[in-house]
Structure 1
Amino acid sequence: MVETDLMHRIMEAVSKRGCLVFRSNVGKVRTPDGRWFDTGLPKGFPDLFGFLPRSGRIFFIECKVKPNKPTPEQVNFLHVARSLGAIAFVAYSIEEVEHALDDAAWADFGLAIQDPYEDESDTELWMKLFCWASTMKRELYECLQTIRREGAKLIPDSKYGLRIIPGEDKAHYKNGSQVLYKYRYELIDELAWLAKRRS
């Protein structure tokens, strides 16, 4: 399957869920008379964007077929969009899109995001991590809340930018490690992004 096929299948799937969805075209093309036409969208703008039914929350989807990866501009756009409250992610399958939209619909019911462990030294970073996780998967958000409640910290890391270390109660961290491992690539990417924004 090529990315255009995946894009069309995703558009059909999200439309059936009541979403309004649009395909974006980014870049410049040369017209037959030799002039350049610019679509007007910034470099890195995702393939698809649209709105969830009822809440009207905006989403951005960058469609990729493995082993293709998003460009730095695409990664940057998705991070900025998420930091502003949008649902924004890279999709390699229709199932990933369906799960993300289901979790987003859950979040739109009024999730109150709080840091359950009051530690001023890294609360701001945790709040950003919780906001990001709330737009991803419910199990990831709940796992991060649990390990943070037990005293997990975010510390600088030379390789990944930031690293999560367990609190005194290591049992909860160990129980949540399977969930953290499941989302390790997304989590590592987000921690690196938070570290970059912090510096």
Structure 2
Amino acid sequence: MTTLDTVNTNSESLSARAYRILLDRLIMLDIQPGEPIMEKQLAEEMGVGRTPLREALKRLEADHLVVTYPRRGTFASQVDVTELAHVSEIRQALEPLAARRAAEVKGGEMRAQLLEVLDELKSLDPDQSQRDLLSYDLSVHRLIYSVTHNEHLSETLIRLDNIATRIWAALSDRLPSLHEHIVEHTTLLEQIIAGEAEAAEQTASEHVKNFYTMVREAL
């Protein structure tokens, strides 16, 4: 490996690290909508250079989680609840597809992980913090997406799920228990593990529809 390759690899690694940290903070609203992204402070805090941080911010801007204004800087994007209709429309088409693909291989090499998560769901503590429940919901969705081995499908769904989760975090004081929403995945995981593709497809569709309906009723 050349020196340039080494530099690029290290840069990508640091950029990915900065991206993961900032993604979590933006989704969970640790960085509030409209809040400025303090590049120097964040770079020092995360132990990365300005270049990897800016690479991470470019990815986050593509994810619609930050916005950059010339001569003003970069800010956390506003939470636009009206955006949920468009997000849900696409998720309504793609979430069932991901569930079907996951069920067709009965979880594939991730079957053991799905079984483990299924056991956890059945005893999930409803008194966990909202943040912990949100993080758990994200991890369940991402696990299902990864089973599909379709990078384009997975990346699209992750980006949309991030936006939906951020909206949930912003409206958490007006919405029903997140615990009940997460436990809905129990049936879906059982169907995926059993290889019930059509049933998993239908359950995933209903799950997305229920979330959208719940948010609309809260508003």
Scaled to the shorter chain, the TM-score interval is under 0.3
Higher strand share: 1
- Tell which has more relative contact order, 1 or 2 (C-alpha 8 A, sep 6+): 2
| TM-score using structure 1 length | 0.28
| TM-score using structure 2 length | 0.26
